[in-house]
C-alpha cells in the first residue's frame, strides 16, 4: 500500500515520477503528490486529492523541473484522504518526505516536536518524520546522519524517502517493515516501493533489507545496515516485461487478468511437471529433505490468499494425508500458538510484502517452526527472501485490486505442494498421475469456462438492484464460495456472505427471501446430494438461486433457479475451474453498478501496513 517513487538524475524527473506513480496506483489511490528540487534549490511540491491522473493534469498545467524528486500515491491510514494529508510532507520549505507504513509513536513524537516549535499541517503520522529530520539536521553533518538518527526514534513500519532542497545530489531512503527497491541507471538512480514503477527506466534492481538506510546519488548508491555499517545488497536484472502494466484491448485490468488465467497457469506449470513427474526443485534447494520430514502444515495468509490456503487444507489432508491448519495472519501473529512437531509453515501472498503475513513468518521462526515455504507472485520480495522454500506463481503483474490470476495460480502452487508432500507420505502412483493430469488439463478447461462470459453477463442484470447475496458451497468449494463473496463485495459493494451449505439451518436461512440471491457452487462430486438438500431448503423458503453446476450434477433451471452450465472437470481441479465464473459474475455486476472495478473504494493492493 502507498506507492513511492524517487529519482536522482541529470534530466528532468517529473515525468518519470508520474509514470512510476501510475504504475503503482494499485497500491493506493486516494491522493498523490510529487516534489522536485529546481535549479535554485527550491522545493516545488504539487499534490492532488484523487487519482494520479489529477496530479498529472496539474503538472501539465504547471510543470515542475529538476533532476531530483520524490513522489507518492496514498492509501490513508492516519488522516482523511485530502490534499493536505497527501505526501510529500514538507518541513520548513526544505525537507520533503514520502512514507509508506505507520509510525506507531507518532503522537508522542508530535507533542515533542510541537514543544520544539514545529507546526503540523496534516493529520498524518508521516509528518513527524519530516520535522524530526529537520530537527536532527541541526546537529548532523549530513542528511544521511539526520535520517539515521530519525529512524532510531521511529516505532512502527516505514519505507521512507527524504530529500533536502539544499542538496540536489542525494536522496536518503530507509526501510523497516515496508518494501523499497533501488533501481540502477546510467548516471541516474532511483527508488520505488515496487520494481513495476521503474521498469521504463531500468532493469537492474536491489532490494533494501530490514533496517537499511541508503544514500542515493547520480553515480553512487551507499547502503548501511541497521548498525550503520556499510553493506552490499546484490543487484539483479529483472526479467519482467516493460508492458506488463498495459491494459491492452480490455476495458479493465481485472477482465484482462481474468482472461489471462489459462496462460498464467500454463506459465505456472511450465517445466515443473517434467514427463509427468513433479520437479521438486520448483520449490528451491533442499525441498526434498524438508518435505520428507513434514508431519504437519500450518498455512498463514490474508484475504484472497487465505481462501486459496483453505482449499489447500482439503487437498493436503485428503490427497497427501498430512494434517493441516490454516489461520489468518493478523490473528496468528498476536496469539500464543502451539507448534506441532515437524511443522512446515506455508505463507501465501501475491506481493510477498503483506505486512501481517511477513510478521507471522518472522514469529513462526522464533517459536520453533522447522521450515517455511511461501507461495508468491513476486520474485525477490520479502517473504521469498525470508522463507526456506518458495513456489513462484508466475502469474505476471496483477494490477486489478481484486485478485484473479494470482489466486488461481496460488491454487496451482498449492496443489503441486500437495503432490510434493504426498510423494513422501505414501501417495499412490495412480493418485500422483491423476493430480498431474488434472493440472495439465487446466488451461484448456479454463478456456472453456471463459466462453461462459456472455451468459454470466446476462445474469448480472438480476443483481443490479440487490443489496445482499449469499454464496453456498460444500467441501473444497466452500472456500470458493467465500472467494466469490469477497469478489462481489470488493468490486460491486454488494454485501455478500459465504456459508458452508450445511450451516444454512444454523442461522442464515432466516435471511432468505426474494431479495437475497443465493449463489450455489455445485459441481458433481461426493457431496452433491447433500448440497441438493440445502438447495431445497432455500427453495422451500422462497429463495432465488443461481447454481453453477456441471451437467452431471443434474440441476435444471426453473422459476426459482437459474443454472449456469460449467464444463465437467476432474474433482481435484474443480475449485480452480469454479472460481472463474464467480470472478466474471462479480465483474459484470460491478460494471452494471458503475463502480471503479480496478480500484474499488477504500481498498488497495499489496497490503504493506497492518
Ligand atoms: N500512514 C501514512 C502512510 C499510509 C500508508 O502507507 N498506506 O499504505 C498516511 O496515512 O499517510
CA distance 472 to 307: 14
Give the contacts of 423 (CB within 8 A, at least 6 positions apart): 278, 291, 432
pLDDT at position 276 is 77
pLDDT at 245: 61
Burial class (CB in 10 A: 0-12, 13-18, 19+), 362: middle
Mind listing the domains of the chain with CATH numbers? 2-237 (3.60.20.10), 243-427 (3.40.50.10490), 448-602 (3.40.50.10490)
Please indicate whether residue 376 is annotated as part of the active site: no
Predicted local distance difference test score (pLDDT) of residue 241: 62
Q: Is 605 a catalytic residue?
A: yes
Residue 178 Cα: closest atom of ligand 1:
6
Percentage of residues in the chain having pLDDT higher than 70: 99
Cell for 30? 486516494
Ligand 1: which of 85, 106, 125 to mutate, most ligand atoms within 8 Å of CB? 125
The pLDDT value given to residue 268: 95
Instruction: Enumerate residue ranges in the chain where pLDDT < 70.
Output: 241-245
The pTM of this model reads: 0.87
Query: What distance in Å separates the CA atoms of residue 177 and residue 1, rounded to the nearest whole number?
Result: 12
Residue 244: what pLDDT? 58
Given this model, what pLDDT does residue 606 score?
Answer: 80
| CA gap 130, 110 in Å, rounded | 11
**Residue 427 CA to ligand 1 centre (angstroms):** 47
Rounded to a whole number of angstroms, the CA Rg of the chain reads 25
Q: What is the pLDDT of residues 373-422, one digit of tens each?
A: 999 999 889 999 999 999 999 999 899 999 999 999 999 999 999 999 99
| CA dist list (Å): 437 to 313, 416, 429 | 21, 12, 12
- Testing ligand 1's pocket by substitution, the residue of 70, 102, 130, 177 carrying the most ligand atoms inside 8 A of its CB is 102
Check if the beta carbon of residue 309 is closer than 8 Å to that of residue 414: yes
pLDDT (0 to 100) of residue 277: 85
Distance (Å) from CA 198 to ligand 1 centroid: 21
Q: Identify the pLDDT of residue 243.
A: 56
The rounded Å distance from CA 596 to ligand 1 centre is 21
Amino acid at each position: 500500500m502507498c506507492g513511492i517513487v524517487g529519482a536522482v538524475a541529470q534530466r528532468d524527473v517529473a515525468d518519470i515520477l508520474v509514470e512510476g506513480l501510475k504504475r503503482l496506483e494499485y497500491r493506493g489511490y486516494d491522493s498523490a503528490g510529487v516534489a522536485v528540487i529546481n535549479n535554485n534549490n527550491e522545493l516545488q511540491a504539487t499534490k492532488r486529492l484523487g487519482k494520479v491522473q489529477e496530479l498529472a493534469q496539474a503538472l501539465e498545467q504547471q510543470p515542475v523541473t529538476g533532476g531530483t524528486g520524490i513522489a507518492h500515491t496514498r492509501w490513508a491510514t492516519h488522516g482523511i484522504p485530502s490534499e493536505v494529508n497527501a505526501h510529500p510532507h514538507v518541513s520548513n520549505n526544505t525537507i520533503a518526505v514520502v512514507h509508506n507504513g505507520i509510525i506507531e509513536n507518532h503522537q508522542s513524537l508530535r507533542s515533542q516536536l510541537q514543544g520544539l516549535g514545529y507546526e503540523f499541517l496534516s493529520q498524518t503520522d508521516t509528518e513527524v518524520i519530516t520535522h524530526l529530520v529537520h530537527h536532527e539536521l541541526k546537529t548532523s553533518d549530513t542528511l544521511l546522519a539526520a535520517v539515521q538518527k530519525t529512524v532510531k526514534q521511529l516505532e512502527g513500519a516505514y519505507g521512507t524517502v527524504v530529500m533536502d532542497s539544499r542538496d540536489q545530489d542525494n536522496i536518503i531512503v530507509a526501510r523497516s517493515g515496508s518494501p523499497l527497491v533501488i533501481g540502477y541507471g546510467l548516471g541516474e538512480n532511483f527508488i520505488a516501493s515496487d520494481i513495476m514503477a521503474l521498469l521504463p527506466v531500468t532493469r537492474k534492481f536491489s532490494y533494501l533489507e530490514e533496517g537499511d538506510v541508503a544514500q542515493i546519488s547520480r553515480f553512487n548508491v551507499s547502503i548501511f545496515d541497521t548498525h550503520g555499517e556499510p553493506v552490499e545488497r546484490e543487484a539483479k536484472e529483472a526479467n519482467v516485461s516493460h508492458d506488463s502494466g498495459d491494459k491492452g484491448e480490455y476495458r479493465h485490468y481485472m477482465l484482462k487478468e481474468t482472461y489471462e488465467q489459462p496462460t498464467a497457469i500454463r506459465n505456472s506449470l511450465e517445466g515443473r511437471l517434467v514427463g509427468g513427474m513433479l520437479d521438486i526443485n520448483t520449490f528451491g534447494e533442499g525441498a526434498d529433505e524438508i518435505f520428507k520430514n513434514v508431519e504437519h502444515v500450518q498455512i498463514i495468509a490474508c484475504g484472497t490468499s487465505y481462501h486459496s490456503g483453505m482449499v489447500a487444507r482439503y487437498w493436503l489432508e485428503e490427497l497427501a494425508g498430512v494434517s493441516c491448519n490454516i489461520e489468518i495472519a493478523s490473528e496468528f501473529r498476536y496469539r500464543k500458538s502451539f507448534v506441532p512437531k515437524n511443522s512446515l509453515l506455508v505463507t501465501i501472498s501475491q506481493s510477498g510484502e503483506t505486512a501481517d503475513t511477513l510478521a507471522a513468518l518472522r514469529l513462526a521462526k522464533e517459536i520453533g517452526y522447522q521450515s517455511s515455504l511461501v507461495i508468491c507472485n513476486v520474485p525477490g520480495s520479502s517473504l521469498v527472501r525470508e522463507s526456506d522454500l518458495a513456489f513462484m506463481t508466475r502469474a505476471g503483474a496483477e494490477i486489478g485490486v481484486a485478485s484473479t490470476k494470482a489466486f488461481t495460480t496460488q491454487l496451482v502452487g498449492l496443489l503441486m505442494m500437495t503432490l510434493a508432500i504426498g510423494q513422501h507420505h505414501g501417495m499412490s502412483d495412480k493418485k500422483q498421475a491423476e493430480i498431474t493430469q488434472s493440472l495439465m488439463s487446466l488451461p484448456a478447461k479454463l478456456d472453456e469456462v471463459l466462453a461462459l462470459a456472455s451468459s454470466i453477463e446476462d445474469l448480472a442484470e438480476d443483481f443490479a438492484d440487490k443489496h445482499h447475496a449469499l454464496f453456498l458451497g460444500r467441501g473444497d468449494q466452500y472456500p470458493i464460495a467465500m472467494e466469490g463473496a469477497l469478489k462481489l463485495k470488493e468490486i460491486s459493494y454488494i454485501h455478500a456472505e459465504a456459508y458452508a451449505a450445511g450451516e444454512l439451518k444454523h442461522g442464515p436461512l432466516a435471511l432468505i427471501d426474494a431479495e437475497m440471491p443465493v449463489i450455489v457452487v455445485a459441481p458433481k462430486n461426493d457431496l452433491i446430494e447433500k448440497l441438493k438438500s440445502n438447495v431445497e431448503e432455500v427453495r422451500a423458503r422462497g429463495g432465488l438461486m443461481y447454481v453453477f453446476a456441471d451437467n452431471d450434477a443434474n440441476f435444471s433451471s426453473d422459476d426459482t433457479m437459474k443454472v449456469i452450465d460449467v464444463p465437467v472437470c476432474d474433482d481435484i481441479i474443480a475449485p480452480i475451474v469454479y472460481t472463474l465464473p464467480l470472478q466474471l459474475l462479480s465483474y459484470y455486476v460491478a460494471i452494471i453498478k458503475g463502480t471503479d472495478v480496478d480500484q474499488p473504494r477504500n481498498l488497495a493492493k499489496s497490503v504493506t501496513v497492518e
